[in-house]
Amino acid sequence: MSDCTGVNMEADTGAAGTSSFNGKEGSYIRTIEWDMMNKTKFFPLSMLSSFSVRCCLFPLTVIKTQLQVQHKSDIYKGMIDCAMKIYRSEGVPGLYRGFWISSVQIVSGVFYISTYEGVRHILSDLGAGHRLKALIGGGCASLVGQTIIVPFDVISQHAMVLGMSAHAGAKADINPLGIKSWPGRSRLHISMDIGREIMRRDGFRGFYRGYTASLMAYVPNSAMWWAFYHLYQDELYRICPNWVSHLFIQCVAGSLGGFTTTILTNPLDIVRARLQVHRLDSMSVAFRELWHEEKLNCFFKGLSARLVQSAAFSFSIILGYETIKRIAIDEQYKHQIRW
């Protein structure tokens, strides 16, 4: 899942920088800052939370990817049809193709959030507003995260689409690397074969196929997600009664941010997926091919699956991340935290 959706998106807290929330019940910290937490608690729990979310929601990533790379609607008619066909032909394992290699994103997530918090801290010293800090910090974090994860993303996506051959017939070239797969074959061996074939054909640069497209899709996505997240959170804090859970407000704001950025960046994500799976020569070629096939439908191709994926990942990641921040906060601040 790439950045948010991820989703390669981790979640910050609050919406007002270092400010507190002064409500009827007293003064509460709205943003748990980086220097308020015990990092020895935070990092292990954060990785465990990210892995748990990925385990639960990874099938949505597989469905989204297969919908994006198919020609028009030749193989699947939509998200539900795709899920049913995968399950009928391969069972639950088919919905987890490419899972283990994709799980390296858990490590990249540590670099992602560390970059985000570090950039926010620097911008705070420069007097930047909280939304500007979120926008710039999210973009920088995605740049670092994508640089780490793209090679694993390329392998993972090739593994995801191998199962499409059972439904495609002669309709599409859904195995451009010619990787052999059969029932019962180890997913580790398949991933290793994909990696070797990419290296044989393209050398090391093959693992960064679609890197520019990934940056163009995910850096704006991450930057806008953080900005919209803070915008929605500000508005929800303003209109919601004082008794509403802060954690719930943050989760809802994350989901709304995921919806908004997904709608705005959907064509870029399709181009990225096609570059990496169909092995096209450039973004312009991918755009032309997509426009020739889909016309205006390119803005909606795989959108339903991506919206569900983005909203679910955003809500779940923030729920885990914000909870862990509250658990990892130093004792001196715990009385100022509201759930």
Residue 308 tokens read as 């569900």
Helices (DSSP H) in the chain: which residue ranges?
Answer: 39-69, 79-90, 99-102, 105-125, 130-161, 165-168, 187-202, 211-239, 246-278, 283-294, 303-328
Amino acid at 231: L
Q: How far is residue 275's CA from residue 180's CA, in Å, rounded to a whole number?
A: 21
The torsion region of residue 72 among left (phi > 0), alpha (psi -120 to 50) and beta comes to left
Q: What is 20-333's CATH superfamily?
A: Mitochondrial carrier domain (1.50.40.10)
Q: How far is residue 313's CA from residue 299's CA, in Å, rounded to a whole number?
A: 21
Residue 202 tokens read as 């393209």
Q: How sure is the predictor about 252, in pLDDT bands with cuts at 50, 70 and 90?
A: very high
Q: How sure is the predictor about 199, in pLDDT bands with cuts at 50, 70 and 90?
A: confident
Looking at mean pLDDT, say which of 255-259, 265-269, 317-321 comes out highest. 255-259
What is residue 259's predicted lDDT score, i.e. its pLDDT?
Answer: 87
* Selected residue with higher pLDDT from 273 and 320: 320
What is the per-residue pLDDT across 76-114, written as a single tens digit (0 to 9) for each? 788 888 888 888 888 888 888 888 887 777 888 888 888
What is residue 163's predicted lDDT score, i.e. its pLDDT?
Answer: 64
Q: How far is residue 92's CA from residue 86's CA, in Å, rounded to a whole number?
A: 8
* Neighbour count for residue 321 (Cβ, 10 Å): 26
Residues 269/217, Cβ–Cβ less than 8 Å: yes
What is residue 140's predicted lDDT score, i.e. its pLDDT?
Answer: 92
Taking the alpha carbons at both ends of the chain, their separation in whole angstroms is: 28
What is residue 253's predicted lDDT score, i.e. its pLDDT?
Answer: 92
Q: How sure is the predictor about 13, in pLDDT bands with cuts at 50, 70 and 90?
A: very low
What is the per-residue pLDDT across 133-154, written as a single tens digit (0 to 9) for each? 888 988 999 999 888 888 888 8
Least confident of 25-34, 73-82, 244-253: 25-34
Residues 194/159, Cβ–Cβ less than 8 Å: yes
Read off the pTM. 0.71
Chain mean pLDDT for the chain: 77
